[in-house]
Amino acid sequence: MEFDFNLYSTPLLFGFVQAWIYALLFWVRGWRNERLSDWLLGFLLAAMSFEIWEYMLGFAGIDLLWNELEFFPRNFSLLLPPMAWFYLRSQFNADFRLQRRDLVHALPYLLYFVYHVAVFSMGRDFVENWKQNVHFRYGFENVQALLTLGMQIFYFYRSFRLYQDYRNWSPSEFSDVEAVSFKWFRNFLVAFIASSIIGWSMTLLDLWLNLDFWHDWWDELFNAGLIYYLCIAGYAQTQPRRLHFEPTSPTAEVVVEEAPILPKAEKLADEELQSWKAQIERLMADERLYLEPELTLSDLARRLQTNASLLSAAVNRAFGKNFNDFVNEYRVEEVKRLLEDPKAKHLSLLGIGLECGFNSKSTFNRAFRKVTGVAPSEWGKHN
């Protein structure tokens, strides 16, 4: 069979090949670095390649799927939504592992697979008879489509909830949330939903206008572009090894080994709370931990030999702010001190920010303005 390279088949072929190249790269990196998230993204890309291969082969003049493989399972539409959700979970928690009970999320696809393979195995004549007298007659195709739509809505909703929970939690754990913001995954979810909307819109247009094969491919082209985005942005995305966000825990607690069991900070007496406040202030002043750009709440908890959940609540109650704002306030005060120090005149404004624990210009400017009400460059004019 000769592949016909044309305006329609070629872009889809590039997307298909790109998906498999990067899937292999993700699997190799996942094996080397023991990163489940890379394995999952590799499988996600491989599954997405089968979302476009029907049109790719059709435009190329290859009728394999409609002859020898008619009714054989052709795509993984019922697996893509849960795979995206599991990938997000593995990104937010380096310790996340798939369990046997998680197979329930693959049950709709397994039913689809078994059904199609069972019919396919009966031979071509049986398949044609079954399609006309059972499959289409009783709306099995529509059931599959509605199930796919329902799973997309359900898992994308859970993914956005998970992402929002993480974004709400991260300022209480990290002194620099920009490095672990995972904005690219938010963009991926938006793009994935856009892909679903475009796909369903093309389906409705097809039902309305009875489009032919050559005019019903824009959603396939969008999916090919989405594959390119996922490959490039996904491979550049890092996964901090110390990230352990678990959404099943109401407080998203990070456990510190061998930490003593302590009462919750909300139940501490005022005298005990003031003691914790004094210990925290003394540690920050003596060791100047705020100068460490990657300082986390867990780091501070280890220094104080306590657990992160109690320390987070203690910081909130004692200082009236989350951990991120608490540390950045120390950094801003250090910036203000260096701006008045003649020995720091050789440093640029950004250089001073970096010296004081900030690790990017945007984080520096945002934190300084939040604490002082003005940008770092305007500080001297107001004092």
User: What does the pLDDT look like over 107-134, one tens digit per residue?
Assistant: 999 999 999 999 999 999 999 999 999 9
Q: With H, G, I as helix, E, B as strand and everything else as coil, classify residue 296.
A: strand
Burial of 263 (0-12, 13-18, 19+ CB in 10 A): exposed
Q: Identify residue 362 by its one-letter amino acid code.
A: S
Beta carbons of 230 and 44 less than 8 angstroms apart: yes
User: How many CB atoms neighbour CB 290 within 10 A?
Assistant: 22
> Across the chain, which distance is largest between two alpha carbons, in Å?
89
So what's the pLDDT on residue 380? Answer: 65
Rounded distance, CA 298 to CA 68, Å?
58
275: Cα separation from own chain's centroid: 39
Retrieve residue 118's tokens: 């069972």
In CATH terms, the fold of domain 265-382 is Arc Repressor Mutant, subunit A (1.10.10)
Residue 95 DSSP code: T
Beta carbons of 30 and 39 less than 8 angstroms apart: yes
Which stretches in the chain have pLDDT values below 70? 238-242, 247-269, 380-383
Beta carbons of 307 and 249 less than 8 angstroms apart: no
Retrieve residue 277's tokens: 């406040």
Which of 88, 68, 66, 84 minimizes the C-alpha distance to 76?
A: 84
So what's the pLDDT on residue 117? Answer: 96
Which of 265, 267, 254 minimizes the C-alpha distance to 301?
A: 254
